[in-house]
């Protein structure tokens, strides 16, 4: 995953790298008509636990960001060291 280079998330990881990551997809609204309590949603989710590590090696950051973009956008992008210097890359294992 990636992040701003500073902030609460990175402070938490620095203090305790043990993390829980949750991802959901395929979210759909379940309509409830005129009764608010009848509304809901359906979705698929994955929850994983691991240890977070801030990636400092430029080549590893490029690899991680490239994989993220390939997954999200479906195509390859070229990253430079200047680009990777603007973000934090976090590896969870």
Could you give the CA distance from residue 53 to residue 92 in angstroms, rounded to a whole number?
6
pLDDT digits (tens, 9 = 90+) for 60-86: 999 999 999 999 899 999 999 899 999
Could you give the CA distance from residue 22 to residue 78 in angstroms, rounded to a whole number?
28
Q: CA torsion, points 43, 20, 64, 88, in degrees to nearest 10?
A: 120
Query: What does pTM read for this prediction?
Result: 0.76
**Where are the domains positioned within the chain?**
2-92
Count of C-beta atoms within a 10 Å radius of residue 43? 9
pLDDT digits (tens, 9 = 90+) for 14-63: 999 999 999 999 999 999 999 999 999 999 999 999 999 999 999 999 99
> What pLDDT score does 46 carry?
94
**Are the CB atoms for 26 and 32 separated by under 8 Å?**
no
């Amino acid at each position: 995953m990636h992040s701003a280079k500073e902030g609460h998330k990175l402070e938490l990881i620095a203090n305790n790298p043990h993390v829980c990551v949750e991802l959901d997809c395929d979210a759909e609204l379940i309509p409830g008509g005129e009764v608010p309590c009848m509304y809901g949603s359906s979705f698929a989710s994955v929850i994983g636990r691991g240890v977070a590590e801030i990636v400092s090696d430029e080549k590893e950051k490029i690899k991680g960001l490239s994989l993220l973009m390939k997954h999200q956008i479906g195509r390859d992008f070229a990253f430079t060291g200047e680009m990777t210097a603007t973000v934090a890359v976090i590896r969870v294992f």
